[in-house]
């Protein structure tokens, strides 16, 4: 049985841990609010550029682009968004498990796929498992700007245009609410679903100099905007998941402190009872 001093030490160390997790919860809650606002403010731009690109791609013009063409898939690239730090609950483990299982099911050789990874946790995971990392980026801020990943997104899109990869899939955590995040995967390239965006209510645009040249500029920007939008979504999910994990850790610390306190009181009461018994026994022996 643990001594009173040992129990006191455990209570003290648990209280210190609780202070840390509580502070981390508050920090994550503050970051979540900013990240959620940032992600929502980006949605109108993303929606408008998709509308314009869909209008051109779905029109009756002769405009063409490699990003719109489906070809035989010889090599698939997986763009995976993780975090640089842990202590975020299932945020990283869920998405890494999904990517790993997908690759194991689809591919027999490493020549058939490559990985583009955001975040130190994901990079370390793929390196540990000997999986081919084509490009990587770490150390992004909690509220990243597009300039932070512009080079990575541009190089990724260019890989498809140059036919070094034939398909690009995006894996990230989608923010549903502060207590719910979903591991999400979607095919980013080729852009085969743009025609579905065109409707009778779509705006009519006039293009200068012509649709083909506008498409050549907008399509890469649109693909890059999808990646950046997913990164913002993932950041909100990361802060939400870490906030929830730290709240759970704080609650667990409270429960442990209560249990240890009860254990301490019982041990202390037993010690007092033992002392009284010894005194009474000693007094009886002197009579």
Per-residue pLDDT of 205-249, as tens digits, reads 676 777 778 778 888 888 899 999 999 999 999 999 999 999 999
Cis amide bond preceding 224, omega within 30: no
For residues 251 and 221, state if they share a domain: no
Within-domain flag for 277? yes
pLDDT of 200 reads 47
What pTM did the predictor assign? Answer: 0.85
117 token code pair: 């990874």
201, pLDDT greater than 50: no
Within a domain: residue 52?
Answer: yes
Instruction: Say whether both 149 and 197 belong to one domain.
Output: yes
| Residue 126 shares a structural domain with residue 249 | no
In a shared domain, residues 159 and 232:
yes
DSSP code for 132: P
Whether residues 184 and 271 share a domain: the answer is: no
For residue 76, list its beta bridge partners: 113, 167
Which residue reads 């036919």 in tokens?
163
Domain-located, residue 138? yes
- What one-character-per-residue DSSP string does 151-219 give? HHHHHHHHHHHTTS-SEEEEEEEEEEETTEEEEEEEEEES---GGGG--TTSPP---SS-HHHHHHHHH
CATH of the domain at 249: 1.10.287.80
- State whether 258 and 203 are in the same domain: no
Give domain status of residue 287, yes or no: no
In a domain, 143, yes or no: yes
What is the CATH classification number for the domain harbouring 92?
Answer: 3.40.1380.10
Q: Categorize the per-residue pLDDT at 62 as very low, low, confident or very high, splitting at 50, 70 and 90.
A: low
For the ranges 23-32, 194-203, 264-273, the lowest mean pLDDT is seen at: 194-203
Range of the domain at 258: 4-22+245-282
**77-90 pLDDT, tens per residue?**
999 999 999 888 89
Give the integer Cα–Cα distance in Å for 57 and 65: 9
Domain count for the chain, please give it. Answer: 2
Same domain for 128 and 200, yes or no, is: yes
């Amino acid at each position: 049985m643990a001594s009173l001093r040992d129990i006191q030490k455990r209570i003290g160390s648990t209280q210190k841990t609780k202070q840390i997790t509580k502070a981390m919860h508050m920090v994550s809650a503050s970051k979540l609010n900013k990240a959620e606002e940032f992600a929502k403010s980006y949605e109108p731009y993303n929606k408008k550029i998709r509308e314009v690109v869909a209008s051109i791609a779905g029109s009756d013009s002769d405009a063409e682009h490699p990003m719109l063409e489906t070809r035989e898939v010889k090599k698939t690239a997986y763009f995976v968004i993780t975090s640089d730090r842990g202590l975020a609950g299932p945020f990283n483990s869920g998405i890494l498990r999904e990517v790993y299982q997908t690759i194991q099911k689809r591919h027999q050789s490493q020549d058939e796929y490559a990985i583009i990874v955001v975040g130190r946790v994901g990079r370390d995971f793929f390196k540990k498992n000997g999986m081919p990392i084509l490009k990587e980026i770490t150390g992004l801020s909690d509220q990243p700007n597009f300039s932070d990943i512009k080079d990575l997104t541009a190089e990724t899109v260019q890989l498809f245009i140059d036919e070094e990869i034939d398909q690009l899939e995006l894996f990230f955590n989608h923010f549903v609410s502060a207590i719910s995040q979903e591991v999400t995967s979607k095919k980013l390239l080729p852009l085969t679903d743009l025609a579905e965006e065109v409707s009778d209510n779509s705006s009519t645009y006039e293009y200068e100099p012509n649709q083909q040249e506008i498409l050549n500029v907008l399509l890469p920007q649109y693909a890059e905007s999808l990646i950046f939008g997913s990164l913002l979504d993932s950041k909100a999910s990361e802060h939400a998941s870490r906030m929830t994990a730290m709240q759970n850790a704080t609650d667990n610390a409270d429960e442990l402190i209560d249990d240890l306190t009860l254990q301490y009181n019982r041990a202390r009461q037993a010690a007092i009872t033992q002392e009284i018994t010894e005194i009474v026994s000693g007094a009886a022996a002197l009579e």
